Amino acid sequence: MPKSSAQLGLAVAWPAFWTGVPIKIVVALIFLALGVHPWEMPGLGLLLLLSVPIDIWALSLSARTVFLERLRVDPPESVGITLWWQGALLSAIYLPLSYAIQSGVVAGAKAATGWIMEFEWLKSLAVAERISIELVLWAAPAVLVLLMLAYGWLFLFGRLIVRRQATGAKTSDSSYQALVRRWDLLRVPADQPLLLTALVGTGVVLVLLFWTAMPVTTPIPHESYVKPSEKIAPPIKPAEKLPKIEKLLSQAEVAVKELEAKGPKGSKRKLQEQAPDKPEAKPEAQREHASPAGPGNA
């Protein structure tokens, strides 16, 4: 038997949470397939509305198990819906206050951390080390306060809601074997073929609904998205490219041979064009060589 109210609240709320989460995930996936985002309105409102019967069923199953197995009392018939509306009322009051407290603690921790990081010996550290120290300084008190707030909710849920329901319930006079059988019948009813048929039928309907909606609601580019106008080059086919390459190579070879054949003739013509210019320099050279000999001979 749970010793504290927080343990009692955790024993009921934690299994109920994980009992309902898989079903809610399936509902969220169907919403996504239908093009409705479960984290935005109206998808979030629909998800919360559909979560009400799931939470009532999960709380009823979890509370009946705890009452029979640990508290040895007969659970009331309406224990699920009672725990749900009282827990919803508690959350509506407690969670906004917790959010305000947590926000104030985070803001104060960041301000204090900023003041501490102004010390000169901390400024001389590397950037990575300063980031790590800053994160630890403001995250540590924030996490501690968050854990304390979570503990406070579990304590109030177990003290004001679960324990009150357990106190008003009748003590069970059944034997342990009878309690175990009753507990098993809560999880697996006596008409197992009917349960199996209902589960399989529901699963088939959900799968068909999911895959029917998927092709219609496949994500498409937004209207503001500009598609690139560049055309994708077709794939290269070696069998078609090789003949063209061979033809180009043969044409290039012929052109090179023609240039080689024309090369010597073009050089001879250039030499002939430049040849008349050189003899004009010879008379001047002859005069220079002949000028010293003229006076001597004279």
pLDDT for 278 equals 47
Structure tokens at 22: 């898989």
Question: How many whole angstroms from its chain centre is CA 75?
Answer: 42
Q: Which residues of the chain have pLDDT under 70?
A: 1-3, 172-174, 176, 183, 186-192, 215-220, 222, 228, 230, 263-298
| Radius of gyration of the chain measured on its C-alpha atoms | 46
Give dist(CA 88, CA 16) in Å, integer: 14
Q: Residue holding tokens 């919360």?
A: 48
- Asked whether the beta carbons of 185 and 64 are under 8 A apart, the reply is no
pLDDT for 151 equals 93
Q: Which residues pair with 171 in a beta bridge?
A: 73
**pLDDT tens for each residue of 10-52:** 888 898 898 888 888 888 888 887 777 877 788 888 888 888 8
Give dist(CA 178, CA 170) in Å, integer: 16
The conformation of residue 190, written as its DSSP 8-state character, comes to S
Percentage of the chain exceeding pLDDT 70: 77
Give dist(CA 204, CA 206) in Å, integer: 5
**pLDDT tens for each residue of 132-144:** 888 888 889 999 9
